[in-house]
Structure formats: structure tokens, C-alpha cells
Copies of this chain bind each other. A is one copy, B any other.
Amino acid sequence: MENIFFGAEAFPKLQEFLQNKAFSQVLVLADENTRRDCYPLVKKFLPEHQILQITSGEANKTLQTCETIWQFLTEKQFDRWSVVVNLGGGVIGDMGGFCAALYKRGITFVNVPTTLLAMVDASVGGKTGVDFSGFKNQLGIFQQPTSVFIDPVFLETLSGRQLKSGYAEMIKHWLIADAAAFETQRWNGLLAADWQELIPEAVKIKSRIVQADPLENGLRKVLNFGHTVGHAAESYFLQQPGRELLHGEAIAVGLLCESYLSEQKGLLSNSELSKIETFLASVFEKVKLTPEDIAGILPFLQQDKKNFRGTINCVLLESIGKPVYDQPVTLAEVEKSLRYYQLI
């Protein structure tokens, strides 16, 4: 946590960092939204820099966009002593980190997350990467940002849909690591959330888990709760023009399906499943799933990175706050959980 700065001190710390390190050049990576809404708020804290704007959205988290970034760095003659400042949400952070980690075998990068999702999840933990051939994060590496600067001021630039998307990851953090916070927050809800307090708490949960197992050989896998089914749903809808889900919206589907799977496997109690169901239903609109959608989601489960020899490995809950990883589930069981979701 020592390299993560919160709240009012975040931007001054960014300024101090960029000044002290005396980088040869600074690139700010933004998309059209963060360039318009966030860049003006942070600009005065930045030394002389270049800014590169890419098109927002998961559909652009591709090698092609990376080539644009690498071409820019090459043409502007960025050397190994330069830095990339990722000003954006999960897509900018994942892709900017990936590009920096590979350019000339690695230059420095820092994250200035602008979405709730990136603040509580994506910007911390060192997972960088891009989608490939329709599969989420099929290419990537583990590379920690040198620092992360988190100021909730950017939350005012977000739509309600984006705020909810980040909130899904916070609910996940409570489900896997903090039963007490889950209990409090399910009564508070999204609208009464105190970001100045909740964001550092959520980051602390993630940091603790990542530091214990940075390369995801064991414990870190619990962070994937909701992501086995969630990623598959996200990948599927990415290919359904007009029906794309935000990451957290897909994860909300995954959290429910995987809580159901936990209950079906005799782990989670029925009453705890009900609590999860009620809380998620109070925040998220239900994603409408046709039988064709369910049939379309299932093949994506086969490419999940957690699979071992064709077995789908899932994180399940023994109870709220107590996850277990490497739990094999079958396609038939996942299909049943999606039908459960359909019927809630």
C-alpha cells in the first residue's frame, strides 16, 4: 500500500513523483472521456508531457491499439527512462501498463484511475494485458505500476452505470474477505456509500491478497470470484453489438451464478445466497438472457485461464467472507446457474 495515494494528497503526490524522478519524457494515455473530463483536473500537476488519446471501450483493448501506442512512443523517441501515466479506467490501465511493460523491454508506468472499477480493482495488482481473438486478457503479463494515485473527485465524471460497474467489484471484495462490511453495506447501498472511506478499504483487501501471492499461484485466485461466469458473459456480449456489458455488470451476473453454484455444491447456505441475491438485485438491473445467449456464453468458459486440462476451475463461497478456489464445475452446472439467474 506504500505506493498508493488516496484523496486530496493523490495529485500533489503524483506531481512530486514526476518531478523527483526526472523522467526523460512523460506520456499521458487517455481516452476521449478522460481527456475531456479528467485531464483538466489533473493537468496542472503534470510537468511537460505528451498526451495520446485512444478510443474508449473494451472493444479497443486490442493489439491494434497497442500498436498505435508503441508507434507513438517510437516516433517521439521515448527511451527507457520515460514514463507512461495511465489516466483512465480498467481498459487504459490494463493496456497502458501492457504497452509500457513491453516497450524497450519495460519502461515505468503509473496509474491514475478515473473510474470506481479501476480505483478499487484494476489499477492495483499488476495484471496488464489485452483481449485477443475474442477472449478477455488472453495476452498479458504481471507488472506492478510504480505508483497509483486515487482521487475520488473523478467519480463525479461517471455515469450511474459506470459507478455500479465498480461497485460490483467492491461487493466481490466484501464477499470474499469482509463479511462485516458486506452486512453494513447491503443496508447502506450504493447511494449512501462513503467513497473516501470505502475505496481505501477495498484497495487494502486487494493489496493484501496480491502481496501474499503476486503471481496467482494460490490465494490470489479468490479475487476471481464471479469472474469465471462473468468473463464468459462479458466476452459473449462483447460480440453482440448494442448489448455490450460493462465489466462490473458482467461480474454482477457472475457473482450471482457462482454464489448459486456454491449453494448447489452444499457450501453456501440458502439464507446467505438469498442475502447476496437481494443485495445484487437492489443495485443491478437484470441482464436479459435468452436460451441462445446461454448457449453462446458457455463456449467461452472453455478458454478461461484458470482451467486445468479442460476442467473449469471456479472460486466458490463456503460462506460470505470465506472463499475456496480451484473448485471444478461442469459446463452443465454453469448452464444451470445461468438458468437460475434467468429466473430470479
Which A residues are closer than 8 A to B by beta carbons? 24, 63, 67, 70-71, 74, 77, 79-81, 101-106, 127, 129, 132-133, 135, 137-142, 302-303, 305, 307-310
Contact = CB atoms under 8 A, between A and B. Distances in A.
A70 B104 contact: no
B309 A24 contact: yes
A106 B138 contact: no
Contacts of A77: 302-303, 310
Contact of A105 (B70, B142, B309): B142
Given A63-B63, A67-B63, A127-B105, A74 B309 contact: no
Contacts of A142: 105-106
A77 B307 CA distance: 10
A141 B67 contact: no
A103 B129 CA distance: 10
A105 B129 contact: yes
Contacts of A307: 79-80
Given A79-B308, A305-B80, A74 B138 contact: yes
Nearest to A79: B307
Contacts of A67: 63, 132
A63 B77 CA distance: 20
Nearest to A302: B77
Contact of A70 (B81, B102, B133, B310): B133
A89 to B, nearest CB: 20
Nearest to A129: B105
